[in-house]
Amino acid sequence: MSTWLVVWIALGAVSTLVVLAFVLALGRHVLILGRTARRFQEEVGSAADEVARERARASEHADRLGRAQRTGRS
């Protein structure tokens, strides 16, 4: 076997192992990010729901005030 062939096979094997290590690390980070996003949703979800309800209530109140001003009532 030629020396260059051995070098290319070794280089290919090392490159494959490095790419595999990066793919495994990426998969691990995706799992960590998913867990973190789920925990964030659990902690912030109730507050966000409350803010959405208050926004809807304020919007309805503003609509009533706008209708009252157009009809001349205050």
CA 31-36-41 angle, to 5 degrees, is: 125
Tell me the residue range of the domain where 17 lies.
Answer: 1-74
Place of tokens 């990010």: 33
pLDDT, tens digit only, all 74 positions of the chain: 799 999 999 999 999 999 999 999 999 999 999 999 999 999 998 898 899 999 999 999 988 888 877 776 55
Cα–Cα distance for residue pair 59/3, rounded to 1 Å: 77
Count Cα atoms within 13 angstroms, Cβ side, for 14. Answer: 6
pLDDT at 72: 67
- Number of domain units in the chain: 1
